[in-house]
Chains A and B, each alone.
Chain A
């Protein structure tokens, strides 16, 4: 229903309607404009939730590495999913459970691999939006992951990739990003929630105040899910003076983990 209702309402009101009230804030907000008259999303943004552990509702739990104790224990969190749970096909649910059981070996984050979409947006680090009329760049702290959103030159993905191929357009106050061309290597979180290379993500970014973006994403993958499903959360502007994206060149941190067993043994 929302599919036809929202454009109709936006057209009649000339305003974006957001679904989730941001901490009781107004449901209609007109963002400051960039030079080309579009809502200006330039800035440094970060999710503030526990979805990076598990996008479904979950209780606190011990971490998989004994030595890290409470410091890497899972923090409890609520679901970011409309309808609370992911509509897995039965065999896919089994694979998710195996992923979780073997997450220390399988989670691409542990190996400093590119995070994919939407996971990049709710990792516990900030990302920066650099916005122009032709391209909108999203530059993430984690692994220096980059997305280019093509605003005027929409193409089919030329090949599969980790961050996908993103075509964007504006619908009033909302930046809509349609991303395909994913590989099947990324996860949604540290709990083993996964997808195939048929993943199709449609994201909607809508300002709800000068310092908040409502972030919604519809996730579709007929190989893994019985139907499309939707997540939503708020992204918060990093307001600290001189906030910046710091270098997080994590390859160096995982080399011994990945290649250590190929080290020359003494005496050989």
Chain B
């Protein structure tokens, strides 16, 4: 399959992926948060303080990762060796380079690699983890609870009832509709490209701007109560506090429309942001939703400092893709109906 892709593109991408991994053993970064534990624990890094005394998380960050949420089949260890990680990065880069097929309809979609949007050309923190999920230790989502199984079946039936994926705008994925993307969360997990965030702090607040969808969470730190239970928001009600060097954000009041990994609106999310060195934030989150899973589960992603600026992502305003998808589906139905009518008249 690989032979049909220009050597140039492959040559461009793979070294870029190797570039960051090449620093693995040499720079001794194996002590960073996502790396294999053991040996001497990293010297506790003390981040600088903001003028009002908060540990300083400010800057522009990327949570790009090639680590899947769940540990892939056939991988048993919790961590890769650096050599295995390099192989995994090469594979990921090659797969991203192969997303277009020159001269075919697949080529109509722009090639991420040409615009530097693919993950191997992004700032990416080193992690040797084989899954983002750290608890359960098998790196898999815990089993669904009985209620969780029932709701998954109900949701599948409801999707079927509403028709095909392009029958109506409401059937399209939330990201394609510019409503919410995985980068926005909550929890905030990187996607295939543009996983950039800007964090700013002001007295009493931490602000996190996700470039995708120009989405902002202004997290109050003053201990105020959550929104009343009847007020549900796509990104919920979020309140923060500092525990030592760690920003802890609790989110409730979610809807069942985002349904992160199949969660219910009762999902309670705890996120922890810890700056582990000048260029890295360890982002950990715990999902607690007994109406979906038999036990809470936790994951960890590293955020790497990157460069700005953050630009305006006017997704909805320029959403030709959604318009074309829907109008294309209608045109196809029309053509099929006409062909069927023609066949009928020939009989």
Chain A positions within 8 Å of B, measured between CB atoms, are 34-36, 42, 112-114, 128, 130-132, 135, 137, 139, 144-146, 148, 150, 153, 155, 158-159, 161-163, 185, 242, 244-247, 249, 251-252, 255-256, 258-260, 262-264, 268
Distance in angstroms from A137 CB to nearest chain B CB is 6
Question: In the complex, what residues of B have CB within 8 A of residue A132's CB?
Answer: 58, 200-202
A247 and B234 form a contact (CB under 8 A): yes
A130 and B205 form a contact (CB under 8 A): yes
What are 9 pairs between A and B in contact, CB < 8 Å? A34-B51, A42-B203, A113-B314, A132-B200, A137-B216, A146-B216, A159-B311, A255-B177, A262-B169
A128 and B224 form a contact (CB under 8 A): no
B314 and A247 form a contact (CB under 8 A): no
- B178 in the interface, Cβ–Cβ < 8 Å? yes
Contacts A130-B200, A249-B234 hold; do A114 and B326 have CB atoms under 8 A apart? no
Instruction: Encode contact with A along B78-113: 1 for CB under 8 Å, 0 otherwise.
Output: 000000000000000000000000000000000000
Instruction: Encode contact with A along B159-174: 1 for CB under 8 Å, 0 otherwise.
Output: 0000110111110000
Distance in angstroms from A176 CB to nearest chain B CB is 20
Question: In the complex, what residues of A have CB within 8 A of residue B50's CB?
Answer: 35
B309 and A137 form a contact (CB under 8 A): no
Question: In the complex, what residues of A have CB within 8 A of residue B163's CB?
Answer: 264
Question: In the complex, what residues of B have CB within 8 A of residue A262's CB?
Answer: 169, 323, 326-327, 329-330
| 5 new A-B contacts at CB < 8 Å, known A247-B233, A262-B327, A263-B326 | A132-B202, A135-B200, A163-B312, A251-B179, A263-B167
A264 and B333 form a contact (CB under 8 A): yes
Chain B positions within 8 Å of A, measured between CB atoms, are 50-52, 58, 163-164, 166-170, 177-180, 198, 200-203, 205, 207, 209, 213-216, 218, 220, 224-225, 233-235, 309-312, 314, 316-317, 322-323, 326-327, 329-330, 333-334, 337
B209 and A137 form a contact (CB under 8 A): yes
Contacts A148-B309, A262-B169 hold; do A161 and B218 have CB atoms under 8 A apart? no
Contacts A144-B214, A146-B216 hold; do A259 and B322 have CB atoms under 8 A apart? yes
B311 and A158 form a contact (CB under 8 A): yes
Question: In the complex, what residues of B have CB within 8 A of residue A255's CB?
Answer: 169-170, 177
A263 and B314 form a contact (CB under 8 A): no
Question: In the complex, what residues of A have CB within 8 A of residue B215's CB?
Answer: 144
In the docked arrangement, what's the CA distance between A260 and B167, Å?
10
B218 and A130 form a contact (CB under 8 A): yes
In the docked arrangement, what's the CA distance between A162 and B314, Å?
8
Question: In the complex, what residues of B have CB within 8 A of residue A130's CB?
Answer: 200, 202, 205, 207, 218
Distance in angstroms from B308 CB to nearest chain A CB is 9
Distance in angstroms from B332 CB to nearest chain A CB is 11
What residue of chain B has the Cβ atom nearest to residue A113's Cβ? B317
Contacts A137-B200, A139-B216 hold; do A251 and B178 have CB atoms under 8 A apart? yes
Distance in angstroms from A205 CB to nearest chain B CB is 16
Question: In the complex, what residues of A have CB within 8 A of residue B169's CB?
Answer: 255-256, 258-260, 262-263
Q: Which of A112, A144, A155 contacts B216 (CB 8 A)?
A: A144
Question: In the complex, what residues of A have CB within 8 A of residue B178's CB?
Answer: 251
Distance in angstroms from B181 CB to nearest chain A CB is 12
A146 and B214 form a contact (CB under 8 A): yes
Question: In the complex, what residues of B have CB within 8 A of residue A137's CB?
Answer: 200, 207, 209, 216
Q: Which of A145, A146, A259 contacts B323 (CB 8 A)?
A: A259
A252 and B179 form a contact (CB under 8 A): yes
Q: Which of A113, A260, A263 contacts B316 (CB 8 A)?
A: A113
Question: In the complex, what residues of A have CB within 8 A of residue B309's CB?
Answer: 148, 150, 153, 155, 158
A247 and B235 form a contact (CB under 8 A): yes
B200 and A251 form a contact (CB under 8 A): no
A246 and B317 form a contact (CB under 8 A): no
In the docked arrangement, what's the CA distance between A112 and B163, Å?
26
B330 and A251 form a contact (CB under 8 A): no
Question: In the complex, what residues of A have CB within 8 A of residue B200's CB?
Answer: 130, 132, 135, 137
B202 and A131 form a contact (CB under 8 A): yes
Question: In the complex, what residues of A have CB within 8 A of residue B333's CB?
Answer: 264, 268
